[in-house]
Amino acid sequence: MKIGIDISQLAFPGTGVASYTENLVRELLKNDQDNRYVLFGSSLRRKKVLENFTRSLSGGNCSEKLFGFPPSFLETLWNRLHVLPLERLIGGVDVFHSSDWIQPPTGARKVTTVHDLVVYKYPQSSHAKTQFRTDVFAPSANIVAVQKRRLRWVKNECDLIIADSLATKKDLREILNIPEEKVRVIYLAAGREFTPKPLAEVEAVRKKYRLENKYFLCIGTREPRKNLDRVGEAFRQLETGGVDLVWGGNYGWGSVNKVNKNNKTIKMLGFVPQEDLPALYSGAAAFVYPSLYEGFGVPVLEAMACGCPVITSNTGSLPEVGADAAFYVNPEDLGEIAEKMSQILRLGNREREDRKTAGLRQAGNFSWAKTARETLKVYEELV
C-alpha cells in the first residue's frame, strides 16, 4: 500500500496540529515497514522547516514531495476551486491522509483528521485571520470561512474521518450530519518526554523563569477560547499569599492580558520551549485548563504524565481525557474555578500522592504508538 500524508502543518511548529502530525508520522514510519509513505508538504517561507523534518526521519519506506506554494494558494486551488488533482504533484497513492487546512481532489481513497468543530460551535472564539498570513504574500483569510470550505469537501468526498474524541464524533454527526459509520475515534497522547522530573530539574527551570513561590500553571496560546481571563479572575479571588499564577504560551489574540495589569503574582512567561514544559508541570501545584472547547486536550495528559494535579472543564472532550483523575469545573463559573484552586492548596501529602498516581495511570492509557497503530488500521480499511 502506498500512503500519502499531508505534513504542511509542520511548517508551524508549536501548534497542537503540528505535534499530532509529527508524532503520527514518526510512529508510522518506525513501526510500519510493510507500506510505503509519500509525505506531501508546502510552504513558501517555511519550506526549510519541512525539509529539516523529513531529513530527521529514518527508514527507507518514505519519500517526500515538498513545494514552495503558500497555504493561501492551495486553499484557493483546492478548497475553493477544487482543481488540480493531487496526483499531478506527488504521483499515484492508494490512500491520502489530508491535513487540517486543505482538501485536494484526488483519485486515492481519502481520510482526514477532524480535530474539532470550533468554527461551528464557537465561531466567535476564532480569530478573523488565519496563520496563512504568516507566509509571505499570502492574503489574510477568515479562518471560519476557510475551515467551513474545507469541511464541506471532507463531508462530500472523504471515505473515512478520524476524530480525536467521542465529543468530536458527536459534533460531526449533529452539526455536519456525517454518518457515524464514517467516523473512527482515535485518541492522541502526550510525548514520551512528559514524565515526573527530579527536584534538581524542577529547581533549574524555576530559577530560569524566576518562580520563587508555589504556582498554578496555565499552558497554551493566550486567546479567548482558552478562558484564561476567567482563570486570572478566579485566582484573584483566592485568599492566600505566597502563590503565583504562571501563564506559558504565545499571545494569540483578544484581551487576555487585562487581568495581569499591575498584578505581580500573575507571571507571563511567553513561549516556553518544549524541553522546559515537563519540569514546569512537575513543579506546579496544579495545571489549570478550563478551556471553553477542545477537540481533545493534550496538555491535560502532559500534566498528568508529569504527576501534576489537573483542573479542567466538565464539558466536551475533556472528561474523556481526564476521566476520574482530574478535578472538573464549569468553565464559565468563576466561583467553581476559584474553589477548585483553593481545594488543591488544601490537599494533604497523601491526597496529592493519590491524585498523582491516578493521573499517571490515566496518562498511561494513551500513547502515540497506539494512535499510529489505530490510524494504520483506518488506512487498511480503505484498500
Position 260 scores a pLDDT of: 53
pLDDT tens figures, 187-197: 999 999 999 99
Position 125 scores a pLDDT of: 62
Position 4 scores a pLDDT of: 98
Place of cell 512528559: 194
Burial 17-27 (b: 16+ CB within 10 A, else e): bbbbbbbbbbb
92 Cβ contact list (under 8 Å, min separation 6) = 2, 107, 108
Note the residue count of the chain. 383
Instruction: Please say if the pLDDT value at position 132 is more than 50.
Output: no
CA atoms of 355 and 324, how far apart (whole Å): 10
* Segment 65-88 mean pLDDT: 94
CA atoms of 54 and 296, how far apart (whole Å): 27
Ramachandran category for residue 67: left, alpha or beta (phi over 0 → left; psi -120 to 50 → alpha): beta
pLDDT tens figures, 221-237: 777 788 988 999 999 88
* Segment 244-262 mean pLDDT: 67
Position 251 scores a pLDDT of: 62
Maximum separation of any 2 CA atoms in the chain, in Å = 64
Residue 3, all three cell numbers: 500512503
Cα 318 to Cα 293, 331, 377: the distances in Å are 8, 11, 25
Instruction: Please say if the pLDDT value at position 310 is more than 90.
Output: yes
Cα 359 to Cα 172, 285, 317, 352: the distances in Å are 29, 14, 17, 10
Position 130 scores a pLDDT of: 46
CA atoms of 317 and 309, how far apart (whole Å): 18
**Domains contained in the chain, CATH given:** 2-189+367-382 (3.40.50.2000), 199-363 (3.40.50.2000)
Percent of the chain's residues with pLDDT above 90: 78
Q: Model's pTM, two decimal places?
A: 0.91
